[in-house]
Amino acid sequence: MKRLFLKSMILKATVTLADLRYVGSITIDEDLIERAGLSEHENVHVVDRTNGNRLQTYVIVGERGSGVIGINGAAAHLVSEGDVVDIMAFGWSAGAPCPLIVEVDGRNRFERFAGEV
């Protein structure tokens, strides 16, 4: 039997922009996308540590090395610039995989890989 498990996670990222006018998605620095094993258009869950809001959206690639974490479209009503968020992707597996956890610093630069959550 396959189950849905946490595949990867970016921990404690700081939202650098929130754009209500843009069609929905989350813009993530290409460096972080690669480190976390994410793909463009992949479904992700976003948990706002600042206010407790949660949402689902999809990834779009941001400028490499920019540190961008951008909340776009209607989600910008739930998450604001400066909020701290966790970004999680899930995948189906027959066994319990070890998730890839990426920790970032206050400027959304890769800091280290963390252990299991």
Q: Catalytic residue numbers?
A: 25, 58
Instruction: Decide: residue 92, CB within 10 A, 0-12 exposed, 13-18 middle, 19+ buried.
Output: exposed
For residue 77, report the phi and psi dihedrals to the nearest 5 degrees.
Answer: -75, -25
C-alpha gyration radius of the chain = 13
